[in-house]
Every structure is written in C-alpha cells, then in structure tokens.
Amino acid sequence: MLPISRRRMIQSGVLGTGFLLSGGLSCLAAGSQAASPSESGPPYGLEGFPSYKEYKAAKKAAREELHPRRVDPDNPSILFHDYLCQKCGHCDEVCTDQMTVSHYCDPAVAREKNVCIHCGQCTNICKRGGMTERFDFPRIRRMAEDKGRVLIASTSPAVRVALGESFGLEPGADCEGKMVEALRRIGFDYVLDTTFAADVTVVEEANELIKRLDAKGSSKAALPQFTSCCPAWVSFVEAFYPTLLPHLSTTKSPVMIQGAAIKTWFAKKNGIDPKSIVNVACTPCTAKKFEVLRPEMNASGRFLKDESVRDMDYALTCRELAQWIFESRVRFHELPDGEYDSIMGRGSGGGIIFGNTGGVMEATLRAVWLYMTGSKAPESLLHFEPVRGLAGVREASLEIDGKPLRVAVVHGTGTVRPLLDEILKGNGKYDFIEVMACPGGCIGGGGQPKPNGNGRPDDELRQKRIDGLYTKDERQTIRCAADNPNVQAIYQEFLGKPLGPLSHSLLHTSYRPT
C-alpha cells in the first residue's frame, strides 16, 4: 500500500482544488462561437466540422484560442474556475463528442441557456482544476457539530469499490467496512446502505414493467420502458427527447427513495424527528447534486405535511468524501471494518450491481422472473452475460413465463442517441432498456477518484471497479431484491404494496421538458 501524503492528495485532485475554489471564484466561461443562422446541425458552432476533436485540431493548427465548456455560475453540480483553465478544450470535447450535449442545442432555441446534464465528465477529463464539482462537505462538516441535528450517511454501491483508490488501494478493492467506519469517525450518527433503496427501486420498476407488458398493444403500454435511476440520463431526455418522457420509468432513483424512506419509515422506527435529520448521499455522481434539488423531490415533506422537508439534503461525491476523511486526519488504511446500522443497512446482490452498466437490468430481470413465475430466477439470470461488459450497446432476448422479452443496455448519452432516433421513427424493437449516462455506469461517474494522481479514467480502470461489484454480488446470500427481508418489512409495515397509493406518492415521480 502506498503512503498517502498531502502533496499526493493535492496532485490527485482529491485535496485542495475543490475545497479552495468551490466557494466562489467561478464565473461564466467565454462563450463558444455561435452558429450562423444558416448552419445545419447538430453539432452547432463548430464551423462545419463533424466533431469537436476535428474542430479543436483545426483551431490549434491555426493557433486560435479554444474556449472551455460554458458553465452557468449557479450550476448546482459543476464549477468552472477560469484562472485555472488551460484552454485545452478537453471539457468541451468530452461534452460534445462523448456526451453529445454541448453544441447539440439549436442556438435559435437555446439562446443564452447553457444546457448541462450535470454528468461531471468534464471534471473527470480536466487535469488542471478548471472544472470541478461543487463541494458541499465543508457545510455538512459544520452541521456535524450541531448537537440538534442527526446526520445520516447513505452510501451508493459504486463508492465502495473506488474510495480506496484515494488512499492507495487497488481499483475495484472492496473497502466497504473501512468506508463505514470512516463515516462514523468524521461525524455521522447513522450509516446506511443505498443498496437497500436500490432493491426497493427494483421492486417498483419490475412491477411497473410487468404492468406495461400486460398492456402491450394499448396506448397505456409506453414501451420500451427506460430505466430512470441515472439523473444525468433523465436530464438528457428532458432536454433532447421530451416526447420519450412517458417511456421513462416513474420510479425514483435509489438515492431519492433512500431519502424519502429515512425521513418517514426509518425516522418513525427510531424515534427521530424527521426535521432534525440531515440526509447525505455518498455517491459517485455529480448529477445527484442537481437531483436532490429538484423541486418535486420532497415527497417525505408532503407526507409529513411540511414541504420544506427534503427527501435527500446533500449529495457528496466520492472525491469529496475522500478529502473530508483526509482532512479529518483519519488513517483510512488502518481503520477496522465498521458495520452499517440495521433496518436500512443491507441490500441484495442485485442492489450492489446497480453501480455498473448492465446491473440495473440484471437486478430487475431477477425480480421480474420471480413475480411472473413465482419461482426464483435461474442461474443464468444470476450471471446474465449478454448484458455485461463495456460494449456501448448490449442486447438480449429471453422468455419469462411464456412471454418474450427483448432488452438492451446502453452506457453513454452519445451512444444512446441513434437508438432513440430509431424509436422516434417507429423502429423500436425492445421492451426494456437500461441507460446510464456515464461510461461504465456509476463506477465511471463524474465524482469518482481520478487514477494515477490526476489522470483520466479508462476502460481498464472501469472494468476493475465493475469486477469488484460483481464479485460482491456473487458473495451475497440474497441475490434478488424482492427477497431482501428489510424490503419486505417496509412494504408490510409501511408502504403496503408495490405501485400502491403510498408507494406511488413516496417512490415515484414525474418529468418535464427543459
């Protein structure tokens, strides 16, 4: 294990840049060149070049300055620090060529609006600190000193196989126990596992899919059903494909379900005043910072008849958590393994693999099989090879209880565009599609540690993190979300039934074009 020095943490981008700069020295980047009125697109504003990479090469050859990706000063997820910007163009390149967001909005429609899906891939590619996530942990750290508040951390699956990289562990190494212990030492009163909520997501989404399949052929079917647990993907559809919004599952993401469950069911069982709770999601994702602020994400407040109560109060990236641990002088590699608190402290193997591309699909199919046949999923669905891997699009066909089911898995919003365009043309051939905005899924999220100091993630790194989650799934006694006793308990004691009135009120949402 490598010793961790302050210098290495600064070089890695985990310590220093975000904390020193996140408070304010951020401004709107110089605008990229506007498209001419006659220009066709997308992409727009690239002087006719088909990709930003080619546009950048031409600009460099002409020794002309490149402008960074435009970021609004009030962006809840991403901060641009102009005086650290090297004007290399990497941020705009990844946003244009990989994510197909920047330069994909018609200037005549977007005007001065800077469309951002908050995925954070610009922060992953930036080596100089010009683009960072917006740091929230200093504010939360101050709250930990307030004895009247109850701080609750909920950890996403992908964090446990990446956090250790900031402290010298190998990529993909499972540091769950040390992560839990570290969270307690930096001030959290309870530490829960968002894989519990991932299991609840599976239960709701599986039942929603079955309902749509039963209505197949009618106007109520809205097939294919798309997953909705990735907030960057949801923002992408709202911005670029609003006519497909009815196809998104209405089930909230695990983070938002976790928040709502904590401030209602968990708070009541533990005798905690929900208004005293500060819910903090520890995630690999910068888009969660945007998601927790969506106005509709206060279902627990509506339930408690106080709409000022939010479901989830803050989202911390994995990099933020690493910095907080380091600044607290916690020697991470020497920590004993801690244990999650009970009730919402465990998920199934299916909940764990939510952190990688293909995992939501595999976990949902395990539950769909159980609900449709009444029997446990076969071994083939406990290792569903057709949806695994890092190919941009994977597809599979299977039969459950005599009903054919065609599914697809896609990661990367740039990769999913052709598929969405075909669906709009009436050429859709799938019943269920999982989409994750970031490469590799959550394990490649915009808030994950940067490799080798301040390098850029690649598929080798992503695969190691994915392997870590699949290995953990295989070691679980419970592999199907519907078999999780804690999930069964929340329905029996509180929610009633999947897709029921209370479940719909607390666990489901709606979307709007932007």
User: Of 32, 166, 249, 253, which residue is the catalytic one?
Assistant: 249
**What is the C-alpha separation between 387 and 187, in angstroms, rounded?**
39
Residue 21: strand, helix, or coil:
helix
User: Of 105, 229, 318, 480, which residue is the catalytic one?
Assistant: 229
In the chain, the amino acid numbered 169 is L
List CB contacts of 452: < 8 A, sequence separation 6 or more: none
User: Of 176, 205, 362, 434, which residue is the catalytic one?
Assistant: 205
CB 310, CB 292: distance < 8 Å? yes
**What is the C-alpha separation between 319 and 98, in angstroms, rounded?**
22
Is 88 catalytic? The answer is no
Q: Which two tokens stand for residue 84?
A: 């650290």
CB 153, CB 183: distance < 8 Å? yes
Is 93 catalytic? The answer is no
**What is the C-alpha separation between 60 and 66, in angstroms, rounded?**
8
Q: Which two tokens stand for residue 210?
A: 């079955």
User: Of 216, 220, 276, 296, which residue is the catalytic one?
Assistant: 296
Is 291 catalytic? The answer is yes
Is 320 catalytic? The answer is no
Count helices and strands (H / E) in the chain: 22, 10
User: Of 93, 133, 208, 320, which residue is the catalytic one?
Assistant: 208
User: Of 165, 291, 320, 434, which residue is the catalytic one?
Assistant: 291
**What is the C-alpha separation between 175 and 99, in angstroms, rounded?**
30
Helix (H) or strand (E) holding 407: strand 403-411
**424 phi/psi in degrees, rounded to 5:** -65, -30
List the one residue out of 254, 270, 483 whose CA is nearest residue 360.
Answer: 254
User: Of 126, 285, 318, 442, which residue is the catalytic one?
Assistant: 442
User: Of 56, 252, 288, 464, which residue is the catalytic one?
Assistant: 288
In the chain, the amino acid numbered 476 is Q
Is 170 catalytic? The answer is no
Query: E strands of 432-504, at which residues?
Result: 432-436
Q: What is the CA radius of gyration of the chain?
A: 22
| Chain centre to alpha carbon of residue 439 | 11
Helix, strand, coil share (%) of the chain residues, nearest 5: 45, 10, 45
Omega of the bond leading into 295 within 30 degrees of 0 (cis): no
C-alpha distances out from residue 482 to 49, 347, 370, 403, 489, Å: 50, 10, 8, 21, 11
Is 493 catalytic? The answer is no
Is 165 catalytic? The answer is no
CB 76, CB 111: distance < 8 Å? no
C-alpha distances out from residue 474 to 53, 201, 434, 477, Å: 41, 20, 21, 8
* Residue found under tokens 């533990």: 270
Question: Cβ of 100: how many Cβ atoms within 10 Å?
Answer: 20
Query: E strands of 273-392, at which residues?
Result: 277-283, 314-317
Is 505 catalytic? The answer is no
**What is the C-alpha separation between 289 and 118, in angstroms, rounded?**
8
Query: E strands of 72-111, at which residues?
Result: 78-80
Query: Which residues are catalytically annotated?
Result: 205, 208, 229, 249, 288, 291, 296, 442
